[in-house]
Amino acid sequence: MKKNKQKERSSLWIIEALFLLMKNKPFHEITITEITEKAGISRLTYYRNFNSKEDIILRYYDIMFEDFLLMFDNINKEELDLKKLIIMSFDRFEENHDQALLLIRDDLTHLLLAPFSNYITRALEKINIPSSLNYFQLKFIEGGLFYTLFNWTKDSKNYTPEQLADNILDIVKH
């Protein structure tokens, strides 16, 4: 049990170190040595936790998405609908705004498309989805939400999460 806690702590230190380094240096120029030095861990510890720098980003967002899904457990199922899911998605991305901007800057958002798809599919299973929406409409929402989240992060144009949810849902209604 103690090793798992240490491994978890080491992972979090590595994640934090990478994002701190990315503030001043492009992702592709950051070395494993820089990450391990910043995290205060050995290379061996790094490789026990991650196979690549991309894995660090994936782990960070995996943690974020898992926390996101846990939020649904604390909400009455009758209150959960597509609009609420979309709003909660924008709120969560806003909380992780700085990290998302670093991914945008370094052209790394593509790393998150598959994990995002997986988590949104899982989130959709937890909410009341209108029965009129078919598989392809849900996939459209999923993809549109992914790209809208990152573009909104880059430049919100003063849209609130609620306004964006309404805009997205208007597309599906037509």
The long-range contacts involving 85-88, CB below 8 angstroms and separated by at least 24 positions, are: 85/123, 85/124, 85/127, 86/141, 86/145, 86/161, 86/164, 86/165, 86/168, 86/169, 87/161, 87/162, 87/165
| pLDDT over threshold 80, residue 79 | no
- 14 with 56: CB under 8 angstroms? yes
| pLDDT over threshold 50, residue 1 | no
Q: What pLDDT score does 3 carry? A: 61
Does 1-50 carry CATH code 1.10.10.60? yes
| 30-44 pLDDT tens trace | 999 999 999 999 999
Rounded to an integer, the average pLDDT of 42-49 is 95
Rounded to an integer, the average pLDDT of 24-53 is 96
